[in-house]
Amino acid sequence: MARHFTVVEANALLSTVRPIVERMVERRREMRAQLERQEELGGITKTNGGGFNPRLPADIDAALQDAARDVSACIEELTGLGVQVKDLDTGLVDFPAERAGEEILLCWQLGEDEIRWWHTLDGGFAGRRPL
């Protein structure tokens, strides 16, 4: 059975969760940038590749793999705390909780000061309601 958080417990855990989520979002952004570089590189190599640095594909691949490993580590760290990762790009996470005997999710997104929202298990971000 998953751990259930109270609002107070979840808000207290934000001091630990926030920097992990910040790193996850930043490293995910890095992954997207490296994927864009790979696409651009594909265009260069299809044309002629003039002035092309032969180490570039390996450098991009290494940076992409490094960022992906770090994102994965962040997800594992958050999951280990009992937090559910919902969106890598926006830093959206949920904390399992109970409300009037019903299982719910306390919802927090990077940039918010504290947890002020909740939703049902199948409600998702669009179904967020104020606490």
Listed as own residue / partner, the contacts of 75-79 with beta carbons closer than 8 Å and 24 or more positions apart are 75/24, 77/20, 78/17, 78/20, 78/21, 78/24
- 52 pLDDT more than 80: no
pLDDT in tens, 15-32: 999 999 999 999 999 999
- 106 pLDDT more than 70: yes
- 94 pLDDT more than 80: yes
Rounded CA gap, 74 and 70, in Å? 6
**51 backbone φψ class: left, alpha, beta (φ>0; ψ -120 to 50):** left
Q: Where residue 51 falls among pLDDT bands split at 50, 70, 90?
A: low
In this structure, what token pair is assigned to residue 123? 């409600």
CB 119 within 8 A of CB 107: yes
- Model confidence, pTM: 0.87
Q: What is the CA radius of gyration of the chain?
A: 19
